[in-house]
Each structure stands twice: as structure tokens, then as C-alpha cells.
């Protein structure tokens, strides 16, 4: 008798904790206070905007489930293989580069690729007609409005540190006075227009007199770039960034289609706000 009574008490206590943790219920699916607080930290948003993001994500998840959309492991692998090839890396080297640069394990990377591919399939299922590509007027107007986006350094003066052992490079990054015969150095000036977009992005994001993340060198070893000098910024002409502009405009158009769709879906969905983080 006492055991049965104790079981009921424990069950009631656990149920209360679960209910207390619920912040929003979307079509019977809970978003917790913890979920919102985590989104606030990751995205630097207030509680209201973070909850909006999570409601949208939950609606997307439910829509994907209802439409029975899926992504196979072979599709994920193919995307990773193509990305690695574009960067002239083997798949294992690409995994190493992502882990060093973003701290993502191979399983975490695969999950993010899966999310991206699912989002693409969801868009294709929702957009009943294809979005038209921008004409020349749209491209010129977008360029004029976003000129600062297409301004970039003309060159980077760097010291390239390379080693067969990434640990040696990590020691060098943590202690610039560290010396090891296992580390080779090579001083170069890298013109912006003659390096890959991925490397250009890595160098642009690295402060002056700092090391980049350690990345594979494509030959079985590792390297890190020390930024010595950045040559003054240069504004790109519209022709040199035409593909970037088209991709940006198309991405905005696709997001507009998805945004409108999920706004209508949210308006008609059963969504209950229980409470927000204090």
C-alpha cells in the first residue's frame, strides 16, 4: 500500500516538473523554457523573438512529418563529398577542417546537412511555382543597396605554419614563441581574387596578428595562417560578384515564400503560449 502511494506521489511530482517546464504548445507539441533560453543565448535574441524562431522550427518539423519528407544517408554523404571536392579535400580532411573551424563532430555535421537538405525539399514542396531569377535591373539595385557586403581586402600578408601534427600547430597558436622542427613556415601575400572563397572567408574572419583555425592542407598535413597585414579594402564591381548577388536574391525570394506560408500556417494552427522566461 505504501509503495503504491509512493509511486503515485513520484509520478505526480515528475508530471508537475514536465508541465512547469512547458513554455509553448504548438499543435500538441511542447517547446520548453529551456529550449527558449538556449535559443536566446545561441542567437542573442529576447524571449519573444526566440520563441517565434522555435515556433517556426516546430511548424517546419511538423510540416516535414506530415508531407513525409525524408533525407537518406546517401544524400547527406553526396552533399558532403561534393563540398569536400570543391575545397580540394578528401572527406576525412573535410571532417577535420569542420571540426577544427567550428567544433562540429562528423555526426553533428551530418545532422546539419540533413536539416539543410530537408529545408530544401520542404521549400520545393511548398513553392508551387518556381521563383523567377532576377533581371539586370534587380541585380544592379541589389548591388547598390549592399555595396558594403561586396567590399573586401585586396590581399592578405600571411605566415603559413604547417605540420603533419595538428597538436604542434595548436601549441604554436597557444604560445607564439613555441618552436618545433616539426613546423614549417612560409611567408606569402595572398591576393583576394586568387584564393578560394572558403579561404578568403576564413582569412577575413581572422583578426590582424592572430592565427586562423587549423585546417587540412589537402596533402595529409595541417596548416594555420598568421595574419600579418591586410591590404586596404577594395570594392568589387557588379560583374565580379554577379553569382553571389543572384544567389542572395534567390535566397531572399525563397525565404519570402516560406515566411508567408508559415505565417498563414501559424495563424491557423493551434498554438498556446503557457509562459515566457523571466
Structure confidence by residue, pLDDT tens digits, 211-263: 998 888 877 888 999 999 988 766 667 877 788 889 889 988 888 888 888 99
Average pLDDT over residues 103-114: 88
CATH of the domain at 173: 3.10.50.40
Q: Assess whether 108 and 53 both reside in one domain.
A: no
The pTM is what? 0.57
**Residue 215 and residue 224 in contact, taking contact as beta carbons nearer than 8 Å:** yes
Among 2-6, 118-122, 187-191, where is mean pLDDT lowest?
2-6
Nearest to 92 by CA among 261, 193, 219, 202: 219
In this prediction, residue 171 carries a pLDDT of 92
Q: Assess whether 210 and 82 both reside in one domain.
A: no
Partnered with residue 226 across adjacent β-strands are: 159, 211
Residue 143 is assigned to a structural domain of this protein: no
pLDDT tens-digit series, residues 123-155 = 888 876 667 889 999 999 999 898 877 777 888
Residue 146 is assigned to a structural domain of this protein: no
Q: In the listed set 51, 68, 85, which residue is the last one of a domain according to the structure?
A: 68
In this prediction, residue 227 carries a pLDDT of 95
**Residue 214 and residue 160 in contact, taking contact as beta carbons nearer than 8 Å:** no
Residue 149 is assigned to a structural domain of this protein: no
Higher pLDDT, 239 or 11: 239
Q: Assess whether 15 and 44 both reside in one domain.
A: yes
In this prediction, residue 126 carries a pLDDT of 84
Whether 102 has a pLDDT exceeding 80, the answer reads no
Q: Assess whether 58 and 12 both reside in one domain.
A: yes
Share of the chain above pLDDT 90, in %: 36
Q: Name the average pLDDT for the chain.
A: 84
In this prediction, residue 161 carries a pLDDT of 95
Domains identified in the chain, total number = 3
Query: Which domain does 44 fall in, by range?
Result: 2-68
In this prediction, residue 12 carries a pLDDT of 44
Amino acid at each position: 500500500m505504501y509503495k503504491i502511494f509512493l509511486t503515485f506521489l513520484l509520478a505526480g511530482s515528475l508530471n508537475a516538473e514536465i508541465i512547469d517546464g512547458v513554455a509553448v504548445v504548438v499543435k500538441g507539441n511542447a517547446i520548453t523554457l529551456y529550449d527558449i533560453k538556449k535559443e536566446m543565448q545561441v542567437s542573442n535574441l529576447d524571449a519573444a523573438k526566440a520563441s517565434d524562431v522555435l515556433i517556426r522550427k516546430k511548424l517546419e518539423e511538423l510540416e516535414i512529418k506530415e508531407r513525409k519528407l525524408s533525407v537518406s544517408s546517401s544524400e547527406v554523404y553526396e552533399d558532403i563529398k561534393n563540398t569536400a571536392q570543391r575545397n580540394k579535400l578528401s572527406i576525412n580532411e573535410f571532417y577535420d577542417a569542420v571540426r577544427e573551424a567550428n567544433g562540429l563532430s562528423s555526426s553533428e555535421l551530418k545532422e546539419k546537412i540533413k536539416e539543410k537538405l530537408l529545408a530544401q525539399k520542404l521549400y520545393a514542396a511548398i513553392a508551387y511555382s518556381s521563383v523567377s531569377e532576377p533581371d539586370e535591373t534587380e541585380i544592379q539595385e541589389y548591388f547598390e543597396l549592399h555595396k558594403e557586403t561586396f567590399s573586401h581586402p585586396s590581399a592578405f600578408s600571411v605566415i603559413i605554419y604547417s605540420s603533419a601534427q595538428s597538436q604542434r600547430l595548436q601549441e604554436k597558436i597557444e604560445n607564439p614563441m613555441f618552436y618545433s622542427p616539426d613546423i614549417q613556415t612560409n611567408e606569402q601575400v595572398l591576393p583576394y581574387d586568387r584564393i578560394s572563397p572558403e579561404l578568403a572567408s576564413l582569412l577575413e574572419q581572422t583578426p590582424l596578428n592572430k592565427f586562423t583555425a587549423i585546417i587540412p592542407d589537402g596533402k595529409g598535413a595541417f596548416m594555420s595562417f598568421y595574419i600579418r597585414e591586410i591590404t586596404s579594402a577594395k570594392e568589387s564591381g557588379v560583374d565580379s560578384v554577379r553569382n553571389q548577388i543572384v544567389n542572395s536574391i534567390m535566397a531572399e525570394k525563397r525565404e519570402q515564400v516560406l515566411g508567408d506560408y508559415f505565417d498563414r500556417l501559424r495563424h491557423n494552427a493551434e498554438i498556446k503560449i503557457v509562459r515566457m522566461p523571466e
